Amino acid sequence: MKSGLKSEVFEKFVKIAGGIINPSIENWRNNGGRVVGYTCSFVPEELFVAAGLTPFRIRGTGSDQSAGMADDYFEAANICSFVRHCFNKILLGEYNFLDGAVIGGGCDANRHIMDNWQKSPAKTPFLHRLLFPHSSGELMANYFCNQLADIKGKLEEHFDVQITDRKLWDAIKFCNEIRDLQKELYAFRKAENPPITGAETVPVIVAGYSMPKEEYSSDLKTLLDELRGVSAPDSKYRARLMIVGPGHDDSSMCDIVEDLGGLVVADLTCFGGKVIFGAIKENGTDPLQAIADYQILDRPFCPKNLGAHPHIHKEIFDKIHDFKVDGVIGQNFLCCETWGGELYILNKELKEAGIPMLRVEREYAADSTGQLTTRVQAFIETISGGAL
């Protein structure tokens, strides 16, 4: 199902999200701009923005089924395919445009991207790891604040920039504004007949981590204006669904759902709803502490974190209510233990609440969609009360 959205700026987002290097990044670099890659949404973009750098979230977009070279580094049978495909792109040289990268200390597989990158032929000048605490609390937020200070110092030294408190507060404000715009985009989907589908939302969000921020912010404003003017046609979808799980940097799952007559109206995923949550406090004495508090105390949605479940639960149930969700698709990549465990708990809770859930374990790239399609179809039919 398509919304019929016709928009130049939307097409631009689709192109950017559909690949890695893109004209906006090339243009930025040609004008002397520098780009720093990062993995995991716990690495705060605000730090890079304050340093005048463009942050670029590492993805494996465009991979086919094999992660080829990366499988030498990460054992294919036991390591999540998202990590393998991302690393394969690094080995293939598709991230050679980066001036540096910060690897988040997320799950066991993700944090080893750092070690393997260092030893690989891909020579990226600035490579650092940012350790995260894996539970939530004041002590942990302070720990994270120290880690941020450490990375800040390294960025200043390597890129010969000064990241002052003023610049950090400005970056916080600016990134909050972008999150607000993204939330506006999500809010359209609360409507009975949204002007934008789930599959169409994904590239708009992903582009935000893949191009210069100012340009993105301005393009997104244009798109939102366009959407405000659209009178959405009466769409005949059969169920309003929500996607929960890691990744979600492409629209493949939404495409399956929406081709079968469902509509994805919300998500809590590592590239989507988890990232655009809330806002960082814009005042206080220490901007790094404000960032740390947001990541560790306000936004503890990573199932790698102990004690994260009640937060995840609340966020999902709130969204089910706000977006009038009929059913949830919980998808995790094979070998992702943390999301696997989280979805296991969630499944039980949704069952108790009478909300249907489909559990899917899949590979990141070019999954054999046959079986998946059949399962999604059966799920939609169950929810909507029969075949079309």
Partner 1 sequence: MINVYSQLQMLAGKALGGLCLDPQNASPGPFVLGNGDFFIEIPVAYGCSYSDITLTGANGTAMPDASELIDKAIETGVESRMCTAIKVACYYLEAGLVRKPDLIITSNSCCDAMDTLGNLLNGYKPWADVPKFIMDAPHSFDEESYKYMGKQLRQAVTFMEDVFGRKMDWDRLREVCVLSNKQDQLLLEFQELKKAVPCPANPDLSRLGFAYDRWTGERVSPQITDWLEQLVCATEERVKAKLGIEGVNEKVRFLWQDLAGSWPPGTLWARLQQELGAIAIMDYMSYCTLTPIDLTSEETMFTSFGKRFLLEDPMNRQALHTTDFFCNDILQIVKDFKCDAVIMPAHIGHRDTNSRLKIVRDMCREKDIPCLVLGIDIWDKRYMPPDVVFDRISTFFQTTGLV
Q: Residue 246 touches which of partner 1, ligand SF4, none (CB < 5 to 8 A by kind)?
A: ligand SF4
Among 73, 294, 338, 379, binds ligand SF4 (CB under 6 A): 338
Q: Residue 153 touches which of ligand SF4, partner 1, none (CB < 5 to 8 A by kind)?
A: none
Binding site for partner 1 (CB under 8 A): 72-75, 77-79, 83, 105, 107-109, 111-112, 114-116, 119, 131, 133-135, 137, 139-140, 143, 146, 303-310, 332, 334-342, 344-345, 347, 359, 361
For residue 122, the minimal CB distance to partner 1 (Å) is: 14
For residue 177, the minimal CB distance to partner 1 (Å) is: 32
**C-beta closer to partner 1: residue 107 or 265:** 107
Supply 263's token pair: 């509509």
Residues in binding contact with ligand SF4, number by CB under 6 A: 13
- Buried b / exposed e along 228-238 (16+ C-beta atoms within 10 A): eebebeebebb
In whole angstroms, what is the distance from residue 56 CA to residue 22 CA?
Answer: 11
Token look-up 């992660």 returns 67
In whole angstroms, what is the distance from residue 269 CA to residue 124 CA?
Answer: 28
CA distance from start to end of the chain: 14
What is the x/- site pattern for ligand SF4, positions 212-251, by CB under 6 A? ----------------------------------xx----
Please enumerate in sequence order all residues whose Cβ is within 8 A of that of 237, keeping only pairs 6 or more positions apart, or say none: 1, 258, 261, 262, 263
Q: Residue 135 touches which of partner 1, ligand SF4, none (CB < 5 to 8 A by kind)?
A: partner 1
Q: Residue 82 touches which of partner 1, ligand SF4, none (CB < 5 to 8 A by kind)?
A: ligand SF4
Q: Which residues in the 83-142 window bind ligand SF4 by CB under 6 A?
A: 83, 106-107, 109-110
Return residues touching ligand SF4 (CB under 6 A): 80, 82-83, 106-107, 109-110, 246-247, 333, 336, 338-339
